[in-house]
Amino acid sequence: MKAIILTTDKWQQIQAELHKEYPPSYFLRWKMKEKLGFTVREHKAWIENKKRNQDDWLSASGGALDHLVSFAGHTELQIHLDFYSEPKRTFFLLKFSEIISKEATDEFNII
């Protein structure tokens, strides 16, 4: 089953809503899987810079290594929700669609 990928900001909004409805014990990893149907995983994704050309590289301050890395791209922390139940995944998407839909892409990946 495909994970739902969220930005940290979106996850914090959803987490705040979940904390209003469920007791703190539900946020233990094994209980979250059992009761809510998913586990949370942090992932650092490599985001390629969209505009890269030789002129940009040559104009970078002297060609230092840190400029090479920032020129190529950067890492971004993402939250992956790994679901184990299709009905619970569907319910989650319906329940939090207002928060999720602001930046939704294909197949409910939110980046």
Q: What is the rounded CA–CA span in Å between residue 59 and residue 57?
A: 5
DSSP letter assigned to residue 71: H
Q: What is the pLDDT of residue 73?
A: 76
pTM: 0.70
Q: Are 4 and 104 in contact (CB under 8 A)?
A: no
Residue of higher predicted confidence among 60 and 79 = 79
Q: What is the pLDDT of residue 9?
A: 93
Q: What is the pLDDT of residue 1?
A: 83
Residue ranges of the domains in the chain? 4-103
Q: What is the rounded CA–CA span in Å between residue 63 and residue 72?
A: 12
Helix (H, G, I), strand (E, B) or coil at 56: helix
Q: At residue 93, does pLDDT exceed 70?
A: yes
**Residue at token pair 């602001």:** 102
What is the tens place of the pLDDT at every residue in 94-105?
999 999 886 554
Q: Categorize the per-residue pLDDT at 23 as very low, low, confident or very high, splitting at 50, 70 and 90.
A: very high
Average pLDDT, the chain: 80
Q: At residue 58, does pLDDT exceed 70?
A: no
What is the mean predicted confidence (pLDDT) over 6-26?
93
> E strand or H helix at 100, and its extent?
helix 97-100
